[in-house]
Amino acid sequence: MDLSIKERLDNSKLPRHVAIIMDGNGRWAARHGSARIFGHEHGIEAVRSVIEGAGEVGIGYLTLYAFSTENWSRPREEVDGLMSLLVYAIDSETVNLMKNNVRLGVIGDMKMLPRRVREKLESCIEKLKDNTGLTVILAISYSAKWEITEAVKKMVSDATRERIDPSQITNELFESYLSTKGIPDPELLIRTSGEYRLSNFLLWQIAYAELYFTDILWPDFRKEDLFEALLNFQNRERRFGMTSEQIAG
């Protein structure tokens, strides 16, 4: 009997944190002869399925790149549509997230968001805060260079006030200034839609992540595709600069 992809996964070798660049909504819409926003709407089904799948296999953290700092430069109509969709999606999905024991977090420049979006996010985070399952982190109005610049600003300000000593700055101290403070680095980064770039996503945190690219457009991506990526991840040798023999030994 053939085992499903999910059954072939080794539960002892799962990444604790998976990050996804959800790309290809616009192209999906074009293929269906529709406006871009139609692709974004259908992207919600993919988000739902992936959250469910991540919970089923026991992933700890799932970070979803939903809107980048650079995306503010898109046509006004699309940006407005995406903001409304965000509010709608949070409203319609909260019950489901609660049922799945999901906690919610957000990273990004919240000051840039319309108030209704910010408030909706805050209230959803509050409602789900005592859940103990998968933590979903939405990256909204996020870019890695923004995040790193903010961290440097805060650090320099703390150094000026003598709250930290510049000679004591370490990798770990720097991480405590990032918006992902306390969250383990993603071991697996997935990007859909056949684009091979990072688009300013989590640059510091993915220093040693395994990268997985698929041609599937985001609205077509489902939990089975996530399991496929996880299986692929499990077949890689993560050497961290060492030799294969050292890893085997």
Binding to Mg ion, residues 2-31 (CB under 5 A): 23
Size of the site for ligand IPE (CB under 6 A): 18
Q: Which runs of consecutive H residues, i.e. helices, occur in the chain?
A: 5-8, 25-31, 36-57, 76-99, 115-128, 144-160, 171-175, 223-234, 244-248
Tokens of 73: 């430069």
Residue 96 contacts residue 55 (beta carbons within 8 Å) = no
Residue closer to Mg ion (CB basis): 6 or 27: 27
- The rounded distance, in Å, linking the Cα atoms of 29 and 189 is 24
When binding is defined by CB under 6 A, the residue of 6, 16, 71, 133 that contacts ligand IPE is 71
* Cα–Cα nearest to 72, from 38, 121, 108, 119: 108
Q: Tell me if 216 contacts Mg ion by CB under 5 A.
A: no
Q: Tell me if 24 contacts ligand IPE by CB under 6 A.
A: yes
We find the least distance from the C-beta atom of residue 91 to ligand IPE, in angstroms, to be 19
The SS3 of residue 94 is: helix
When binding is defined by CB under 6 A, the residue of 91, 195, 215, 224 that contacts ligand IPE is 195
Q: Is 215 an annotated catalytic residue?
A: no
We find the least distance from the C-beta atom of residue 192 to ligand IPE, in angstroms, to be 8
We find the least distance from the C-beta atom of residue 50 to ligand IPE, in angstroms, to be 14
Q: Tell me if 68 contacts ligand IPE by CB under 6 A.
A: yes
Q: Tell me if 108 contacts ligand IPE by CB under 6 A.
A: no
Cβ neighbours, 10 Å, residue 54:
27
Phi first, then psi: give them for residue 160, nearest 5 degrees: -60, -40
When binding is defined by CB under 6 A, the residue of 22, 54, 107, 155 that contacts ligand IPE is 22
Whats the size of the chain, residue-wise? 249
Q: Tell me if 66 contacts ligand IPE by CB under 6 A.
A: yes
We find the least distance from the C-beta atom of residue 211 to ligand IPE, in angstroms, to be 15
Q: Is 71 an annotated catalytic residue?
A: yes
